[in-house]
Structure 1
Amino acid sequence: MVLLLVISVFFIAHLYILQNKEIPIFSDRIVLSYLLNFAMAAAILIFIQSRFNKKSSQTGFIFLAGSGLKFLVFFMVFYPFYQQDGTMSSTEFAAFFVPYACCLILEVAFLSKQLNNQDY
């Protein structure tokens, strides 16, 4: 629930900034980027939560695998589109990096909280 709320706030703020700079707000696959980053982060968090008590020593590896998956999706889905003109503009970079960073920070905070509350 927190993830959905935070990513929604970032999405609205991102669109607001683009609109104020008179940049097309739905260009650069921004909606797809936010949706995919949210879906992958939610899946990673749900998977970690469901497996945490059983194999807590592997939680970090699950997190790293999820991060690797996100990079793979970027290079398969977004990078070819962004490189069609030979360069990646700052708006293209922001369209992927802002939701990625937002989700990554929330994932790290969640994982950190889980690990700090663990009894050894």
Structure 2
Amino acid sequence: MPKSNTIPRFLVYLLISLGLAFVVHITILKSAGFPKYDNFIVKSYIVNGTLAGLIYIIIFVFKQKLKNQIGFLFMGGSFLKFIFFFLLFYPLYKEDGNINRLEFAAFFVPYAISLIIETIFMAKMLNNLK
């Protein structure tokens, strides 16, 4: 994978994956009779996608300089996502005293998809390091 194409390629895969997941997610919600845009679902997809993109770009830029710490940086990025969850989403979801399955899915689906795409591209990056 040429260096010049790696970041745009990652971002395209991430955007397409999250976009398709979002359409499927809201279609399922609508067909089940639930509100499509409830539980901060749009905010969740945007925050997870943005964080995944930023984390990947930062690690990619510093991959040669910090090649022995890439795994720790990746774990730090995942930790950062959890911090965002607990600061932005958790208080909103806990307002009624519990987190239901729809609220959990609104955050976890984009988080999991972003993590899978990040992991695939991170593994390719590590395999290409010399």
- 2:55 aligned partner, one-letter code: I
Percentage identity across paired residues of the two chains: 44
The aligned residue for residue 13 of structure 1 is 24
Instruction: Report the CA distance between 1:14 and its aligned residue.
Output: 0.4
Distance in structure 2 (CA, Å) of the matches to 1:47 and 1:7? 20
Instruction: Report the CA distance between 1:55 and its aligned residue.
Output: 1.6
The aligned residue for residue 58 of structure 1 is 69
Instruction: Find out whether 1:29 has 2:59 as its counterpart.
Output: no
The aligned residue for residue 97 of structure 1 is 108
The aligned residue for residue 117 of structure 1 is 128
Provide TM-score, normalisation by structure 2.
0.88
- 1:44 aligned partner, one-letter code: I
Range with bigger deviation, 70-79 or 51-60? 51-60
Distance in structure 2 (CA, Å) of the matches to 1:38 and 1:118? 25
Distance in structure 1 (CA, Å) of the matches to 2:77 and 2:118? 10
- 1:39 aligned partner, one-letter code: T
Distance in structure 2 (CA, Å) of the matches to 1:76 and 1:54? 31
- 2:116 aligned partner, one-letter code: I
Distance in structure 2 (CA, Å) of the matches to 1:55 and 1:85? 44
Provide TM-score, normalisation by structure 1.
0.96
Instruction: Report the CA distance between 1:117 and its aligned residue.
Output: 2.1
The aligned residue for residue 86 of structure 1 is 97
What is the aligned residue count?
Answer: 119
- 1:10 aligned partner, one-letter code: A
- 1:80 aligned partner, one-letter code: P
Gaps of 5+ in 2: 1-11
SS at match of 1:48: helix
Q: CA RMSD in A?
A: 0.8
Distance in structure 1 (CA, Å) of the matches to 2:86 and 2:25? 22
Equivalent residues of 2:39, 2:106 under 8 A apart: yes
Instruction: Report the CA distance between 1:114 and its aligned residue.
Output: 1.1
Which aligned segments of 4 or more residues in structure 1 are displaced greater than 2 angstroms? none
